[in-house]
Amino acid sequence: MNDTVIVKPGATDLAESVAGISWAAVAAGGIVSCALTLVLLVFGIGLGLSVVSPWSGAGVTATTFKIGTGLYLIVIAMLSSSIGGYIAGRLRSRWIGVHTDEIYFRDTAHGFVAWAFASILGAVLLATPASSLIGGSASTVGQGASAAASRSGPMDSYVDTLLRSDQPSAQGQGASGDSRSEMVRLFTSSFRHGGELKANDRGYVSKVVAARTGLSQADADKRVTDVVTQIKADTDAARKATAQLAFWLTASLLLGAFCASLAATEGGGLRDGTWGSRARLSPSIRT
């Protein structure tokens, strides 16, 4: 059966006088969505700190934590987007003299635009508070560290491993601070973009390690090889973790867009009193 739309005299002019999108409703839904996302993020940070333990064998495993974080991101997106989309659909202006299919499309668009507005607003505003919260937690945990240690770069721990002596009393006597800084700069520049130590650089590093630690040249070469292998493994693990986080974020954003659009149609239907009705009433009847 074809839908029949009965338009009252003057209804067309009235429909044209009402904008197809209510920006105030979109902004309200986006702001609410951002606020809920921030609240749930703060709760998630506290929940994550409560289940992670620095002791071996205690707390959740790294794999469980990664999966749990990804699923929680999806839950955040679904909840905040659904509520934001519902508000955008419920608060929009009522359209008179507009076909029901067009109303359904406009409600869906309201939810999608509210989700897009919330995503952009969240990327601009929520990144700073979230980073501050994470940074503040990290600084609280590590507040007992010295100022020199807090300024250490990512390669310092690897250089510490290389220059560790079997005789602790001789630690720090065989190599100057300039030599250590040179090695840190060498490792940082070599592995910055997933590179590798050049042959002459590897030979130089092995000689410095042998002179500093008192190891034989063969043992020094083996230590350099082990540390380089560890650097590559840690870099690859960080790359995979970043890729997994990107996939989880993508999934959460897509599900958020779907939930916001669907919730907006429900909010718009409840706004007009047509939600749940299988029969499509004409705009003239609803008026």
In tens, the pLDDT along 110-164 reads 999 999 999 998 888 766 655 554 454 444 434 433 343 444 566 766 776 676 5
**Taking CA 180 as the corner, what is the angle to CA 167 and CA 223, rounded to the nearest 5 degrees?**
55
Same domain, 39 and 92: yes
Give the pLDDT mean for 38-47.
86
Same domain, 135 and 270: yes
- Residue 265 contacts residue 109 (beta carbons within 8 Å): no
Look at residue 139 in the predicted model and tell me its pLDDT: 47
43: closest CA among 79, 19, 13, 17?
79
Look at residue 138 in the predicted model and tell me its pLDDT: 42
State yes or no: pLDDT of 285 exceeds 70: no
State yes or no: pLDDT of 188 exceeds 60: yes
Out of 33-37, 51-55, 123-127, 246-250, least confident range: 51-55
Same domain, 134 and 164: no
- Residue 32 contacts residue 84 (beta carbons within 8 Å): yes
% of the chain surpassing 70 pLDDT: 67
77: closest CA among 46, 116, 37, 112?
37
Global pTM value: 0.66
Look at residue 116 in the predicted model and tell me its pLDDT: 94
Residue 240 pLDDT grade (very low, low, confident, very high; cuts 50, 70, 90)? confident
State the Cα–Cα distance between residues 32 and 48, nearest whole angstrom: 24
Look at residue 284 in the predicted model and tell me its pLDDT: 42
Same domain, 160 and 203: yes
Out of 165-174, 196-205, 243-252, least confident range: 165-174
User: Of 166 and 263, which is predicted with more confidence?
Assistant: 263
Q: Which residues contact 172 (CB under 8 A, 6 or more apart)?
A: none
Neighbour-count burial of 14, counting CB atoms closer than 10 A to its CB (0-12 exposed, 13-18 middle, 19+ buried): middle
Same domain, 28 and 86: yes
Same domain, 123 and 195: no
Whether 231 is in a domain gets the answer yes
Look at residue 57 in the predicted model and tell me its pLDDT: 59
Same domain, 229 and 170: yes
Whether 144 is in a domain gets the answer no
The total domain count for the chain is 2
Whether 29 is in a domain gets the answer yes
User: Of 276 and 262, which is predicted with more confidence?
Assistant: 262
Look at residue 141 in the predicted model and tell me its pLDDT: 38
Residue with tokens 């067009």: 102
State the Cα–Cα distance between residues 189 and 168, nearest whole angstrom: 29
Mean pLDDT value across the chain: 75
Out of 74-88, 165-179, 225-239, least confident range: 165-179
% of the chain surpassing 90 pLDDT: 24
User: Of 32 and 51, which is predicted with more confidence?
Assistant: 32
Same domain, 134 and 258: yes
Name the residue range of residue 199's domain.
Answer: 153-235
The four Cα atoms 266, 267, 273, 274 give a dihedral, to 10 degrees, of -30
Same domain, 71 and 96: yes
Whether 106 is in a domain gets the answer yes
Whether 148 is in a domain gets the answer no
Give the pLDDT mean for 226-234.
87
Same domain, 29 and 135: yes
Out of 4-13, 60-69, 188-197, 230-239, least confident range: 4-13
Q: How far is CA 4 from CA 1, 7, 284, in A?
A: 9, 10, 11
Tokens, residue 177: 């601070």
Same domain, 27 and 120: yes
Whether 278 is in a domain gets the answer yes
- Residue 219 contacts residue 207 (beta carbons within 8 Å): no
- φ, ψ at 113 (rounded to 5°): -70, -35
Give the pLDDT mean for 78-102.
90
Same domain, 128 and 252: yes
